[in-house]
Each structure stands twice: as structure tokens, then as C-alpha cells.
Amino acid sequence: MNRIKNKKILITGGAGFIGSNLCGYFLEHNEVVCLDNFSTGYRHNIESFLSHPGFALIEGDIRDFETCTLAVTGVDFVLHQAALGSVPRSVNDPITSNEVNVSGFLNVLMAARNANVKRFIYAASSSTYGDSVVLPKVEDVIGKPLSPYAVTKYVNELYAAVFSKTYGIETIGLRYFNVFGRNQDPGGAYAAVIPKFVGQFLRHESPVINGDGNFSRDFTYIDNVVQMNELAMLTDNPEAVNTVYNTAFGERTTLNELVHALKEFLSVYDEKIAAVPIVYGENRVGDIPHSLASIDKARRLLNYQPQFSMRAGLKEAVAWYWDNLKGEN
């Protein structure tokens, strides 16, 4: 695969889960500017980069336009990952989610436009499909949003499209589907399901599945997401820009299947985990029952070939969690 080289790349939310993986990958051949306020990201995710001559950290908030203007100085590409994720968080506090995910997004986009950044690539979300029951999810067919978070991510797409038409800045949105992997935080009230379950299993606690476990998701390993970001930067096909892409593997897994796969892989390291029972609870407000991406558009226009299935990625993730979390549980 071709590599982006000798560019200056701004990664907002660069100390977060996805952002820190992007920082590490692109720092091998480029200058990287990381903008983060550490509200959900962690300094330890980028600790090893701080001494790298090509890495710069700006500790600041995307809700401050002057900070965004500073961050885009001399930048070729923006990879905008900064956001307040989580459907439940947005249900509990829609105002802050909107301030960060909409006003903050607009600040970074406007600053990028003013600085004549070549291309603005941003984290969109599968939540944009809302109440659409069509499977697999195809980029042009969406429903009505089911949470404040979903509203904010759809507004991002609308702003990006308007800026492309009005100001000529190239934009690409990547609709992430349930991304997982190294650096994903297992703690906190809004932890994603995979790291949360891993942390519970390591403590020999029963994970709680919302509903009967038959809801399904297109779980996507982090390296597939890194690949998509690079492909979005590399393309010189006019048809491939100013649009959005599903970023996924293209297979769905039920929560029951997921939890049993986690048990299988974790039991290699600790056989007691095999006996930990599973608990079932109520469905969660704002959750969609099923999610499965069509990745045909990304294959056709970006030559996307995801390298990691859910199970292959889960093996990698479990090994990372065992190395990094076993002493904490």
C-alpha cells in the first residue's frame, strides 16, 4: 500500500483512542500536530511521541477558534477526530455534545478553509443511519437520528458538504462502525462495549448485555480505520472526494457472539474467565437494533481492502489488553 509521506497533518483528538493510533502511524513518515484538551483522551496514549522531532502537541479545545487557527498553520491535511462520543452521554448532556461536536467541528472546518488546507477528513458515525432498517447500510440511504449524538454527527456531514460546495475545500467523512482496538479506554461511565467487557472479564465480573444479546454490530478493528484515513488522504480521484464512506469490515456480530468470542480469547490467558456468567439487562435508550455496513463504495472509489475481520482484530485487541490491563484488575 502507498504511504503518505513528508506531509504536515493535524490530528484533532489525537490523544484519544482513534486519534492516538493515527498519530503513531502517520508520525513514521510525516510531521504530526496533535490537538487535544484531554477531556476524553489520555496523555499516556501519546507519551512515546512527545520526544519525536516531528510531533507537536497543542493542548487546547476545539471550541476555541483561535486555538483551531493556530493548529492548522502550515497543515496539508486535517484528520478531525475530536468529539464527545457515546449515545448515553449525549442523552444525559445534549448541550455539551452539541457545543463540542457541532460548534467545535465548525471551528476546525472554518480554520482549515481559511488556511487553505488541502483536504479535511473527519470522523463521521454509523449513528447517522438512525431509524433506517435497511441492511446493509448504504451511504445514500439514512433514517432519522435516534439520539442527540446522532444529530451532531449528521450536522457535521451537512456542514462539510456545504463547505465543499461554497468554499471549495475538499472534505471526506468516514462513518465509523463500532471501532475497537489498542488504546481504547475500558473505564468510565461511557466505555465502549468491547473494552468494558474485557475489563470486567479480567476482574472475573459478569458483563451486562443490554437486551437479549441479539442486537448486532459491524465491529471494526482500529487498523482498518487507519487504512481508511490514509486512503482518504491519498486519493486523487475527483469522484472520491466531497462525500462520505462507511468505515467498517462489512460483517455483523451479535453481542452474544461477541461476548463468547471474548471469553474464548481471554481464557487463553486466564482459564477462570471461561466460567464467568453473562448477565442480561434492559435495552439502552437510543440504541439501534442492528448495524451492518456496505463497504462497496469504499472498495470502488478508494480501493479499500480491510485487513482485519472482527475475530482477527479481537485476538489482537485481547493480547494488547492483557499486556496493558492485567496488572490493574
Helix H or strand E encompassing 77: strand 77-80
Rounded Cα gap, residues 206 and 200, in angstroms: 6
Helix (H) or strand (E) holding 152, with range, is helix 148-167
- Residue by residue, DSSP assigns 210-250 as ETTS--EE--EEHHHHHHHHHHHHH---GGGSSEEEEES-S
Q: Is residue 212 situated within a structural domain?
A: no
Q: Identify whether 325 is part of a domain.
A: no
C-alpha–C-alpha distance, residues 291 and 132, integer Å: 10
All residue ranges of the chain with pLDDT < 70 are 1, 190, 286, 326-329
pLDDT tens readout for residues 207-223: 999 889 999 999 999 99
Number of domains in the chain: 1
In a domain, 267, yes or no: no
CATH (domain of 161): 3.40.50.720
Distance CA(119)–CA(105), nearest Å, equals 15
- Check residue 284 and give its pLDDT: 73
Residue 1: what pLDDT?
A: 60
Residue 274 falls inside a structural domain? no
Distance CA 210, CA 294 (A): 25
The answer to whether residue 191 is domain-embedded is no
pLDDT tens-place string over residues 19-42: 999 999 999 999 999 999 999 999
Please work out, in degrees rounded to the nearest 5, the angle formed at the alpha carbon of residue 172 by the alpha carbons of 249 and 183: 50
245 domain-assigned? yes
Residue 286 confidence (pLDDT):
64
User: What pLDDT does 328 receive?
Assistant: 59
- Residue 329 confidence (pLDDT): 52
- What's the pLDDT score for residue 162? 98
Domain hosting residue 228, numbered range:
8-179+221-251+288-308
In a domain, 261, yes or no: no
What pLDDT is recorded for position 288?
75
- The verdict on residue 52 lying in a domain is yes
